[in-house]
Amino acid sequence: MLSRRALVGGLMTGAALAGPGSARATLLAVGRRPSESFFLANGLQVIVLPSRRGPIVTQVLVYKVGSADEVFGQTGVAHFLEHMMFQGTATVAPSEFSRIVSRNGGRDNAFTDFDITGYHQTIAPDRLELVMRLEADRMTNLRIVEKELIPERLVVLEERRMRTDNVPASLLDEAVREQLFGRHKPYAMPVVGYADDVKKLGVNELTAFYRKHYTPNNAILIVAGDTTAEAVRKLAERHYGPIPNRPIAPRRRLAEGGAGLPQRVIRADARVVEVGWSRDYLAPSRRVGETRHAYALQVLARLFGGSETSRLWRAMVVDSKLALSASADYSPASLGLTSFGLGVHPAQQRTVTEIESAVADEMKKLLDGGVTAEEVERAQNQLLAAAIYSQDSLASGPRLYGAALSTGGTVADIDAWPERIAAVTPADVLAAARHVWRDEGAVTSLLTPAEDSR
């Protein structure tokens, strides 16, 4: 919890963001998060986020590669390689990486997404050099051998079964993405991969992917916590600096979605207990499409369905009692197009027809009548307050920087985000809604119990 002293020190009135006489003088201002950045000679970008809130540091090494960089037929290779990164080098035995971190009082993990793959450790400051040495070692010296690959493939396939095949909502999401972004296209293929592809991936495919993408000039090192830029630079030069770089091909993403939209996808499954209704719209990111709408779309998502005070929640849950919950979501951090999503869980005895009609009514009210300055300001303050609180976390900062910098953003873009959110006007929000809320860019989906008649 942020202390009152820190809260008062971290917030200012909107006068700092708006000119003299501005009517919007109550917006919160977000103090710039202390950060320093530099590049090593081999192209590795380094970001340091110093914080004295606790005697710990977090190292995150992010590679600018994810499942959207795969080709159909080899889906899941980015995620499979993430698993293999723990299976040893010439000097570190299989599975020993995490054991070493644990024995030194730390914890570690990794993640793969569509545009990014990351590896992170949290540990005491005097062990930062240890995890840097370990991470730099597997950046260039990973050993991918059949003996370790075969059992790890079973782990990956079991993860697919647990998180996708046994979760009806995940299967529906997979089908929705295929329609929204186009079957066999980068953002339509699942991060975990199709099971048939994973079964065929071998040493040659994983090694080729590793050699193609795992190089310092395709990575970002982010260190947050109880350290200094000088200390991080010294350690990074020592451990990452000697690793040679390699040529990196440009990353490519489509600037169009799937064909034949709008589409409707229904999954009836005996494992489903509660009906779920969703609609996803193709939307611009900060990099592709009508990028000028990205900040307004963040405000729109918050205003329309981002909290229990939002328009959709009040109309669907509080006033009409049609739904148990209602939401909207949007993230601009994508190298290609992204999506703007709406979701509703109907109340008992309510039909999908009623839900769709009510959602359409709320969208029409916004499109026809616009939004007020007060509700835009409320949404902006909710977003800005979340940014302030996130500065207390050693996890959210590195993930934010990693996602932004891996998808074409800069440190300057991150620093300017609060000001750009604060600059969004009601007219901007309305223009963004009109641009995105179009039938020709939508996929409506329904998750329902088998043989549900609603």
User: Which tokens is 393 given?
Assistant: 């976390």
Which residue type does 91 have? T
Dist. CA 433–CA 441, nearest whole Å: 12
Q: Which of 36, 70, 82, 237 is catalytic?
A: 82
Which residue type does 392 have? D
User: Which tokens is 50 given?
Assistant: 């110093």
In the sheet that 263-269 helps form, which strands lie side by side, from edge to edge? 263-269, 442-449, 276-283, 338-346, 323-330
* Residue 138 near residue 215, CB atoms below 8 Å: no
Dist. CA 63–CA 260, nearest whole Å: 34
Torsion-angle region of residue 439: left (phi > 0), alpha (psi -120 to 50) or beta? alpha
Dist. CA 335–CA 31, nearest whole Å: 27
If you ran DSSP here, which 8-state letter would residue 17 be given? T
Q: Is 375 annotated in the active site?
A: no
3-state SS string for 98-149:
HHHHHHCCCEEEEEECCCCEEEEEEECHHHHHHHHHHHHHHHHCECCCHHHH
| C-alpha distances out from residue 416 to 264, 295, 360, 432, Å | 38, 11, 34, 20
DSSP H helical ranges for 324-395: 352-369, 373-390
Q: Which residues are the active-site residues?
A: 82
